């Protein structure tokens, strides 16, 4: 059998297994609501449903809780402090990715997470034509969408396969379906994409650096999560404003959850993956 045909069979088998998983995960235990009540969620995202925010009404608490059922390890690994810190880190990263805040914004610059559901003025269609495993579909654009601003065909394809939608031919669903949008953010957070570790493993203390990681100064902490998400543009740069914004959100949320942030908040001395 040709390797390409074998790969297609593997993908189809994986897709079928994931459909079975998706059918059962919606009945999984609710753990996130024990850490984040609706009232707390609304106090964190003070302005997400303001009329000036393009995503108003999209990122609902119910969708967040429903999506989290498919990822039982999220916010449910380690002791209570670790679980709260992971949750604060996740919410901080998605807040930066979707922020509508500015320096003098009402309630401060870190009260405007989840304001956008799509990237504003994307600079390209984010198609890596050299990636033959996840080929771009004609006329489709893979710009940032959803809480994590999922980008590129090589992310939309695997996310769709894992979550039960066609990420290559229907990327728009990430900005049209609130539950799927949340699932893509949680999928990216929980999934290892070698050589990158998962954001989850970093925040719960399961990250084991390789020799290459050690040489690149990729130390565990919130800064490494930023490196995983957007290190190619933000890491290895002294006092990058985007990194500072992510840290500002994290510090605010850590205070709300009454936990410390831990060390290594920035990635200015880390080499990108």
Put residue 91 in one of left, alpha, beta given phi > 0 → left and psi -120 to 50 → alpha. alpha
DSSP states of 89-112: HHHHHHHHHT----TT-TT-TTS-
How many Å apart are CA 170 and CA 160, to the nearest integer?
9
Q: Which contiguous run of DSSP H or E holds residue 160?
A: helix 153-163
Q: How many Cα neighbours within 13 Å face the side chain of 141? A: 12
Domains and CATH numbers, the chain: 3-257 (1.10.530.10)
The closest of 181, 177, 179, 156 to 166, measured between CA atoms, is: 156
How many Å apart are CA 29 and CA 69, to the nearest integer?
6
Torsion of CA 218, 94, 166, 137, to 10 degrees: -70
Is residue 9 helix, strand or coil? helix
pTM: 0.91
Residue 16 in this model has a pLDDT that exceeds 50: no
- Which of the residues 86, 97, 119, 234 is marked catalytic? 97
Instruction: Dig out the tokens for 224 from the structure.
Output: 């490494």
Radius of gyration of the chain (CA): 18
Residue 13 in this model has a pLDDT that exceeds 50: no
Residue 4 in this model has a pLDDT that exceeds 70: no
For residue 59, what pLDDT is reported?
98
CB count in 10 Å sphere of residue 135: 14
For residue 18, what pLDDT is reported?
52
Buried b (16+ CB within 10 A) or exposed e, 61-100: bebbbbbbbbbeebbbbbeeebbbbbbbbbbbbbbbbbbb
Q: What is the pLDDT of residues 151-200, one digit of tens each?
A: 999 999 999 999 999 999 999 999 999 999 999 999 999 999 999 999 99
Q: What is the pLDDT of residues 235-265, one digit of tens each?
A: 999 999 999 999 999 999 999 999 999 999 9
Which of the 8 DSSP states describes residue 179? H
Decide if 172 is catalytic: no
Per-residue pLDDT band at 31 (split at 50, 70, 90): confident
Chain mean pLDDT for the chain:
92
Q: What is the pLDDT of residues 32-62, one digit of tens each?
A: 999 999 999 999 999 999 999 999 999 999 9
Instruction: Dig out the tokens for 200 from the structure.
Output: 């989850």
Q: Exposed, middle or buried: residue 15 (CB in 10 Å: 0-12, 13-18, 19+)?
A: middle
């Amino acid at each position: 059998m040709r390797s390409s045909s074998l790969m297609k069979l593997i993908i189809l088998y994986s897709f079928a297994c994931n459909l079975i998983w998706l059918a059962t995960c919606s009945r999984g235990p609710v753990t996130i609501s024990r850490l984040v009540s609706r009232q707390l969620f609304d106090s964190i995202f003070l302005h997400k449903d303001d009329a000036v925010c393009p995503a108003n009404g999209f990122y609902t608490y119910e969708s967040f809780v429903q999506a989290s059922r498919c990822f039982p390890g999220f916010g449910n690994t380690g002791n209570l402090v670790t679980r709260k810190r992971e949750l604060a880190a996740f919410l901080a990263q998605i807040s930066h990715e979707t922020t509508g805040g500015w320096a003098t914004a009402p309630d401060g610059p870190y009260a405007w997470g989840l304001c956008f559901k799509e990237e504003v003025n994307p600079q390209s269609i984010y198609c890596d034509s050299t990636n033959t495993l996840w080929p771009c579909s004609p006329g489709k654009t893979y710009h940032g969408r959803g809480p994590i601003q999922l980008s590129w065909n090589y992310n939309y394809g695997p996310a769709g396969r894992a979550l039960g939608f066609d990420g290559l031919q229907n990327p728009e669903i990430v900005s049209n379906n609130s539950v799927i949008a949340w699932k893509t953010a949680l999928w990216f957070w929980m999934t290892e994409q070698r050589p990158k570790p998962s954001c989850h493993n970093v925040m719960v203390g399961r990250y084991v650096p390789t020799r290459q990681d050690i040489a690149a100064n990729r130390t565990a902490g919130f800064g490494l999560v930023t490196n995983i998400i957007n290190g190619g543009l933000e890491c290895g740069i002294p006092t990058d404003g985007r990194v500072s914004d992510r840290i500002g959100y994290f510090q605010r949320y850590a205070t709300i959850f009454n936990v410390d942030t831990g060390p290594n908040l920035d990635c200015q001395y880390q080499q990108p993956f």
